[in-house]
Amino acid sequence: MLAEPGTSDRILVTMSNAGIRRQGRWLVRGIDLTLRKGEIVTLIGPNGAGKSTTAKLAIGVLKADEGQVQRSSGLKVGYVPQKLAIDRTMPLTVERLMRLTGPLSKDRLDAALYAVSIPHLVKAEVQHLSGGEFQRALLARAIARDPDLLVLDEPVQGVDFAGETALYQLIGEIRDKTGCGILMISHDLHVVMAATDTVVCLNGHVCCRGTPAAVSQSEDYRRLFGASRPGIAFYNHQHDHTHLPDGRVQHRDGTITDHCHPEDGHHHDGHDHDHHHGHEHSHSHSHDHKHVHAPDLTGDRHA
């Protein structure tokens, strides 16, 4: 008998009630988070909310003082930290940057640079790269060793709007091609983050989570970031509800609940809460329900 594509074998990291304490203060606490193959999870939150700390806990750079963090055995992580201990004014070629973290065959190095569309920059000096090219070089370095999980701390820093859109598109393509899981960190929701499957809004603890569209409408998000955020646009499908591969339920407003009981979810609007397993579905589309699709902002790249 063919088994349903399992969800447990797709799990890369499970954080259960994880917390970390420094100098008598909890930097983050009560973090529940699951990272799976093929999924993009984005952590958002204001400065100091604990996004980098949570990412470091997830990959084992930091150890939890409370709760548990479990990683699948032999998990290979590609990590682009927020700050690099590299002096960008020192002479350093892209090729050497790629090898600073360990040996890498020429074939893999070239393939990774090709995947991020900068194969011509292999001999370029890092100090001469544009912001977007530098982020691509870091991304190439992180994907070169075939990671199961890619962790990208502020992957679009120093990149203009068009470059940002292209970079998020590229990150989505890397996920599609390699099937790796991706944990991203961003200060805020952004139009292209609609490519993200799940947004987790942090402020020392998990304030809310769900699709980008759902989180942007949630009270917690609005409280944290202010009521109106310009530039957020989502391409929404009208779902009644969708059963995610891991058994959770995504409601029409984009919220995700573990169970089908209305009281379990983050329901704010007082209607459309009667989604139960076994009741009538009204899916009228045939695409993969797991993804919220970004608007096509990248047409020029396909021209």
Ligand X SMILES: Nc1ncnc2c1ncn2[C@@H]1O[C@H](COP(=O)(O)OP(=O)(O)OP(=O)(O)O)[C@@H](O)[C@H]1O
- The Cβ of residue 173 has, within 10 Å, a number of other Cβ atoms equal to 13
Tell which one of 27, 150, 166, 215 touches ligand X (CB under 6 A). 27
The yes or no reply on residue 51 touching ligand X (CB under 6 A) is yes
Site string for ligand X, 186-205 (x = CB under 6 A): -x------------------
Helical spans, DSSP H, in the chain = 51-59, 94-99, 106-115, 131-143, 161-178, 212-217, 219-225, 299-302
Q: Rounded to the nearest whole angstrom, what is the least distance from the CB of residue 175 to ligand X in the complex?
A: 22
The residue among 56 and 71 lying less far from ligand X, judged by its C-beta, is: 56
The residue among 225 and 234 lying less far from ligand X, judged by its C-beta, is: 225
Site string for ligand X, 57-76 (x = CB under 6 A): --------------------
| Helix/strand number for the chain, H first, E second | 8, 12
Q: What strands, in cross-sheet order, belong to the sheet with 206-210?
A: 77-80, 149-153, 181-186, 40-44, 198-202, 206-210
The yes or no reply on residue 49 touching ligand X (CB under 6 A) is yes
The two beta strands, 256-257 and 249-251, are antiparallel
Q: Which of 19, 113, 25 is nearest to 69 (CA)?
A: 19
Q: Which of 199, 213, 200, 146 is nearest to 174 (CA)?
A: 146
Tell which one of 12, 33, 35, 50 touches ligand X (CB under 6 A). 50
The answer to whether residues 148 and 13 touch, using CB atoms and an 8 Å cutoff, is no
Q: How many residues bind ligand X (CB under 6 A)?
A: 13
Q: Which of 80, 78, 137, 149 is nearest to 113 (CA)?
A: 137
The yes or no reply on residue 141 touching ligand X (CB under 6 A) is no
Which 216-275 residues touch ligand X, going by CB under 6 A? none
Phi, psi of 32 (to 5 degrees): -110, 120
Q: Rounded to the nearest whole angstrom, what is the least distance from the CB of residue 189 to ligand X in the complex?
A: 14
Taking CB under 6 A as the binding criterion, the range among 19-27, 34-42, 192-200, 219-227 that sits at the site for ligand X is 19-27
The answer to whether residues 13 and 71 touch, using CB atoms and an 8 Å cutoff, is yes
* Alpha-carbon dihedral sign for residues 7, 256, 170, 139: negative
Tell which one of 14, 53, 196, 242 touches ligand X (CB under 6 A). 53
The yes or no reply on residue 158 touching ligand X (CB under 6 A) is no
The answer to whether residues 111 and 143 touch, using CB atoms and an 8 Å cutoff, is no
Q: Rounded to the nearest whole angstrom, what is the least distance from the CB of residue 29 to ligand X in the complex?
A: 11
Rounded Cα gap, residues 182 and 201, in angstroms: 16
Tell which one of 6, 48, 179, 247 touches ligand X (CB under 6 A). 48
Taking CB under 6 A as the binding criterion, the range among 50-58, 121-129, 228-236, 238-246 that sits at the site for ligand X is 50-58
Tell which one of 6, 17, 22, 261 touches ligand X (CB under 6 A). 22
Taking CB under 6 A as the binding criterion, the range among 49-57, 69-77, 103-111, 287-295 that sits at the site for ligand X is 49-57
Tell which one of 52, 72, 169, 211 touches ligand X (CB under 6 A). 52
The residue among 223 and 259 lying less far from ligand X, judged by its C-beta, is: 223
Which residues are paired to 31 by β-bridges? 18
The yes or no reply on residue 165 touching ligand X (CB under 6 A) is no
Applying CB under 6 A, the residues found at the interface with ligand X are 22-23, 27, 45, 47-53, 82, 187
